[in-house]
Amino acid sequence: MQDWIRKLEFPDFSFLRYNIAFLKGDKAGMQREAAQARGKAGLQDWMSNSDALVLAYSAHLEEARKRSRQATEFAQQEDHRETAALFETQSTLREAFFGNVDAAKQRATAALALSKSRDVQYAVAFALATSGDYSRSQTLTDDLSKRFPEDTTVRFIYMPTLGALLALKHGEPVRAVELLQTAMPYEVGYFGNLYPAYVRGEAYIAARQGREAAADFQKILDHRGSVLSDPIGALAHLQLGRAYEMAGDPAKAKAAYKDFLGLWKDADPDIPILKQARAEDAKLQ
């Protein structure tokens, strides 16, 4: 019996080992897990997507796009449309966060063509709002509220976050912060990668409250085990620099920009948010 137990292998264990290796900076361990997943049905799609997230975390965007396409193709080959849609939403969010508006909108359309499930619709609405397509985001947000009126995740995480993004569009950062108070008791324990905290930090910056913004972005950096390789884990360094600069603390601002640019030292050069970060850092020097 013990020998049989030792031979048990679940896909989740591979992802767990892969993510632990990522958090430790153990590239050899990550490569070992990825190699073992290659060619295995039900595993290679998720591992390809994990590779894409890690590549994007250090802004190797072109390679990340290739791995994302592979992940989606693998999932569709196994007729896992929902999984493929979730992979597309992660591509959508990544492009939106990095400032690639047209690419984000294209991936959003691709994701919704595969699924209009709760989580897919939320992620697409978030990405579209981040990309400035507020009309489509509002339509998806309203539909989400109507379809899932009693859903705890929708009520206390998704709706406050989307509402805050749309409030920011209307120039109402204080309103955005107020909406996000609802999500605070849930955001760390919920595997949503602390998106409510990220948006709240953006709202505080819009309200010119640098210290408060810094606290939310630091919260993201303090919970790497929840964020893993999500783009906000990298971008929180940049946002922290912006928050400290606004708060009148140039030393901490410079340190945060240094951390971000160090993380993205080998980044693809044409990423819009990277160009902004370099310009902002140059003004601080």
Is 175 found in the same domain as 253?
A: yes
Domain count, the chain: 3
Is 264 found in the same domain as 241?
A: yes
CA distance 123 to 115: 12
Nearest-5° Cα angle at 46, 221 to 131: 55
Instruction: Show which of 79, 95, 129 is a domain's final residue.
Output: 79
CB contact at 8 A, 131 and 91? no
Element containing residue 231 per DSSP (H, E): helix 231-246
- Tell whether the model's pLDDT for residue 10 goes beyond 60: no
Residue 16 confidence class, pLDDT cut points 50, 70, 90: confident
- Tell whether the model's pLDDT for residue 56 goes beyond 80: yes
Residue 11 confidence class, pLDDT cut points 50, 70, 90: low
Is 210 found in the same domain as 121?
A: no
Instruction: Show which of 93, 115, 147 is a domain's final residue.
Output: 147
CA distance 39 to 64: 19
Residue 122 lies in a domain: yes
Quick one: what percent of the chain has pLDDT higher than 70? 94
Average pLDDT, the chain: 92
Instruction: For residues 219-240, give the mean pLDDT.
Output: 95
Is 202 found in the same domain as 265?
A: yes
- For 7, phi then psi, to 5°, come to -85, -5
Residue 3 lies in a domain: no
Q: Is the four-CA dihedral 252, 258, 263, 267 of positive or negative sign?
A: positive
Residue 51 lies in a domain: yes
Residue 5 lies in a domain: no
**Each residue of 247-260: pLDDT tens digit?**
999 999 999 999 99
Is 258 found in the same domain as 157?
A: yes
CA distance 58 to 229: 9
**Each residue of 69-98: pLDDT tens digit?**
999 999 999 999 999 999 999 999 999 999
What pLDDT score was predicted for residue 192?
53
Tokens matching residue 207: 């309200």
Is 283 found in the same domain as 230?
A: yes
Residue 94 lies in a domain: yes
Is 120 found in the same domain as 161?
A: no
Tokens matching residue 211: 């210290």
Sequence-ordered list of residues with C-beta below 8 angstroms from that of 178, at least 6 positions apart, any chain: none
What pLDDT score was predicted for residue 89?
96
Q: Can you give the CATH number for the domain in which 233 is found?
A: 1.25.40.10
**Each residue of 35-51: pLDDT tens digit?**
988 888 778 999 999 99
Is 99 found in the same domain as 74?
A: no
- Tell whether the model's pLDDT for residue 283 goes beyond 60: yes
Is 283 found in the same domain as 160?
A: yes
Instruction: For residues 192-218, give the mean pLDDT.
Output: 95
Nearest-5° Cα angle at 43, 37 to 44: 60
Angle, helix 101-114 to helix 118-130, in steps of 10 degrees: 170
Give the domain extent around 120: 84-147
Is 177 found in the same domain as 89?
A: no
Other beta carbons within 10 angstroms of residue 194's beta carbon come to 27
Is 249 found in the same domain as 199?
A: yes
Residue 139 lies in a domain: yes
Element containing residue 88 per DSSP (H, E): helix 81-98
Residue 6 lies in a domain: no
CB contact at 8 A, 159 and 144? yes
Residue 111 lies in a domain: yes
What pLDDT score was predicted for residue 4?
33
What pLDDT score was predicted for residue 180?
96
- Tell whether the model's pLDDT for residue 124 goes beyond 70: yes
Instruction: Show which of 79, 109, 137 is a domain's final residue.
Output: 79
